[in-house]
C-alpha cells in the first residue's frame, strides 16, 4: 500500500477507509442540500400570492454601522391590513441590530388594498457601499 497507510494494520486501514467514506458522504449531502437551504431561507414561495407594494421606505443604515462594516440579511414578516397599511412586523431572522431599522421602515410601507389581512415576507440585505438593501 502507499501513502499514509504504510505500516498500518488491516484494521487501521479499514477504519481510515470507513472514515473517508463517511466524510465524502457528508460533503456530498452538504453540496446538494445547501442550495435548497438558501432558497428556503431567502426565497419566496412561488405558490403564495403577494400583495403589491405601492410605497416603500428604505431602512435607515446608520453611518456607524456602515463604517463598522456591519453587514447581513434581515427577514421580517409584515401583517398587512385590507386597506394596505402595515399593522405589525415580526423579525424572523437576522442581526437584531439591523433588524430594528428594517422593522421601522416596513411599518411605513403601503401595500395595494386587498380583500383581507395578509402576512408578507420581506428580506433586506444591509451591505456597506450598497445603495439598495433589498
Number of domains in the chain: 2
Q: What tens digit of pLDDT does each residue of 43-100 get?
A: 444 456 689 999 999 999 988 888 888 889 999 999 999 999 999 999 999 988 899 9
Sequence-distant (6+) residues with CB within 8 A of 72 are 94, 95, 98, 125, 126
Across the range 10-32, mean pLDDT stands at 71
User: What pLDDT, on the 0 to 100 scale, is given for residue 4?
Assistant: 53
Give CA–CA dist 29/115, Å, rounded: 43
Across the range 34-45, mean pLDDT stands at 41
Same-domain status, 17 and 70: no
Number of H helices, E strands in the chain: 3, 5
> Which pTM was predicted?
0.62
Across the range 36-41, mean pLDDT stands at 39
Same-domain status, 79 and 109: yes
- Residue 79 in any domain: the answer is yes
User: What pLDDT, on the 0 to 100 scale, is given for residue 28?
Assistant: 62
* Strand (E) or helix (H) holding 102: helix 96-106
- Residue 78 in any domain: the answer is yes
- Residue 48 in any domain: the answer is no
Q: Which domain holds residue 25?
A: 3-42
Give CA–CA dist 105/46, Å, rounded: 25
Give CA–CA dist 6/75, Å, rounded: 53
pLDDT at 12 over 70: yes
The CATH number of whichever domain residue 62 belongs to comes to 3.30.2420.10
pLDDT at 37 over 50: no
pLDDT at 13 over 80: no
Same-domain status, 93 and 112: yes
pLDDT mean across residues, the chain: 79
**In sequence order, which ranges of the chain are alpha helices (DSSP H)?**
10-42, 63-67, 96-106
- Residue 120 in any domain: the answer is yes
Give CA–CA dist 76/54, Å, rounded: 18
Same-domain status, 60 and 107: yes
Amino acid at each position: 500500500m502507499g501513502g499514509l497507510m504504510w505500516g498500518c494494520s488491516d484494521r487501521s486501514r479499514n477504519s481510515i477507509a470507513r472514515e473517508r467514506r463517511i466524510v465524502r458522504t457528508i460533503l456530498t449531502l452538504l453540496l446538494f442540500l445547501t442550495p435548497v437551504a438558501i432558497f428556503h431561507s431567502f426565497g419566496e414561495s412561488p405558490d403564495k400570492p403577494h400583495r403589491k407594494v405601492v410605497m416603500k421606505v428604505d431602512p435607515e443604515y446608520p453611518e456607524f454601522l456602515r463604517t463598522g462594516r456591519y453587514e447581513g440579511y434581515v427577514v421580517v414578516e409584515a401583517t398587512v391590513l385590507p386597506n394596505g397599511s402595515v399593522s405589525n412586523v415580526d423579525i424572523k431572522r437576522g442581526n437584531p441590530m439591523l433588524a430594528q431599522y428594517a422593522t421601522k421602515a416596513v411599518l411605513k410601507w403601503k401595500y395595494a388594498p386587498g380583500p383581507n389581512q395578509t402576512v408578507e415576507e420581506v428580506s433586506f440585505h444591509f451591505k456597506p457601499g450598497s445603495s439598495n438593501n433589498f
